[in-house]
Amino acid sequence: MSAMGSDVGERRTTRGRVRLAGFVGVVVALVGVSAASLFVGAQDIDAATVWRLVWHDDGSEFAYIVRELRLPRTVLGLVVGLGLGLAGALMQALTRNPLADPGLLGVEIGASSAVVVAISFFGVTTPSGYVWFALLGAAITSVVVYALGAGGRAGPDRVVLAGAALTAALTAFVGIVLLVDADTFDRYRYWVIGSLASRDMGVFWEVSPFIGTGALIALALGHPLNALALGEETGRALGARIGEVRIAGALAVTLLCGAATAAVGPIGFVGLAIPHIARMVTGPDYRWILPYSAALAPVLVVGADVLGRILGAPGELQVGVVMAFLGAPVFIALARRRRIAQL
């Protein structure tokens, strides 16, 4: 028995070291892609000059490029990636569906619908103006989906079905408005593609409190989500308050994904793929999956943005387009893997 206990303890220690080493590697990668985002662009600026201009504005054209164009999109990519990664991990935990992403709650289509209303009916034309409408739309949609799926107790299947139904209805609404209003379509298409470009630091400061609050809620749910993963009855036996966990999780997803979508438009596949990558290192423990997702997703988002600048030079490919090309094969692989596992 003592030898068996020693083996178990040794395996736990080894797993803990692997998790910690992996997380350090992710942080190093995060620093690397952030630096690349500042250094890479249509205008060739040497690294020493970029580093100096990050901290000191000398009023030059290079200073404008670094401080007003590259720096805002870098920090916005970091916080948006964090929001989408955590939201995806939460959705997969709450629904116990490995193919779930934040779109299942209707957050993205709610934000999109609100942006269409803002453009068509209120004449809003700037990304900073879209933010508050998109946040409100995401919040309202999430509440409606949860209310429709509750039925006395909000089970994951009912919530997913409610989200799918409302998504279909709002997609039709958006399509009708865009069909009859060419001006709205012309402005909306630049937002809906998903881009970090043309955003200033004002957008970052507007959405970061929401993403920060959502992140704190999400990270606090690690232990209850581990209990929920064992099933509702087992989770209750272990002391988890299932209803409260689901409500807190839905609130966190709304804040995280709603704010991220409001800031840069919908960026697909991040919330789907990142939790799976995290599990390869962490195993099924959400106390580790959530921090890993929060750190890995910004690497992916900012890295995709840098890749879009390189591939599209002298122009650029928007991060939403790059993620679609990267994410589609990942989704197909995950779907095939799940189907094979069920056979």
Q: What is the pLDDT along the chain (343 residues), one digit of tens a residue?
A: 455 555 556 667 777 788 889 999 999 999 999 999 999 988 888 989 999 999 988 888 999 999 999 999 999 999 999 999 999 999 888 888 777 777 777 888 898 899 899 999 998 877 777 888 888 898 898 888 877 766 545 556 677 788 888 889 999 999 999 999 988 888 888 888 888 988 888 889 989 999 999 999 999 999 999 888 877 777 777 777 888 888 899 889 889 988 898 888 888 889 888 999 999 889 889 999 999 999 999 999 999 999 999 988 788 888 988 988 887 777 677 666 654 444 3
Q: What is the sign, positive or negative, of the torsion defined by CA atoms of 189, 192, 195, 196?
A: positive
Separation in Å, CA 232 to CA 92, 151, 157: 15, 17, 13
188 lies in which domain range?
Answer: 2-342
CA atoms of 38 and 48, how far apart (whole Å) = 11
For the chain, how big is the Rg over CA atoms in Å?
Answer: 21
The Cα-based distances of 61 to 112, 126, 201, 283, 309 in angstroms read 35, 24, 18, 48, 19
- The CA distance from 9 to 280, in Å, is 21
Give the relative orientation of helices 71-95 and 201-220 as an angle to the nearest 10 degrees: 30
Residue spans of alpha helices (H) in the chain? 2-39, 47-55, 61-64, 71-95, 107-122, 127-150, 156-180, 182-192, 201-220, 222-228, 232-237, 242-264, 270-282, 286-311, 319-342
Q: What CATH number has the domain bearing residue 150?
A: 1.10.3470.10
pLDDT for 338: 54
**Measured between alpha carbons, how far is residue 6 from residues 2, 3, 9, 19, 285 in Å?**
6, 5, 5, 20, 21
Q: What is the pLDDT of residue 130?
A: 80
Q: What is the pLDDT of residue 151?
A: 54
Q: Into how many domains does the chain fold?
A: 1
- Looking at residue 58, its pLDDT comes to 87
pLDDT at residue 9 in the model: 61
Sign of CA dihedral 128, 81, 308, 187: negative
The one-letter amino acid code at 270 reads V
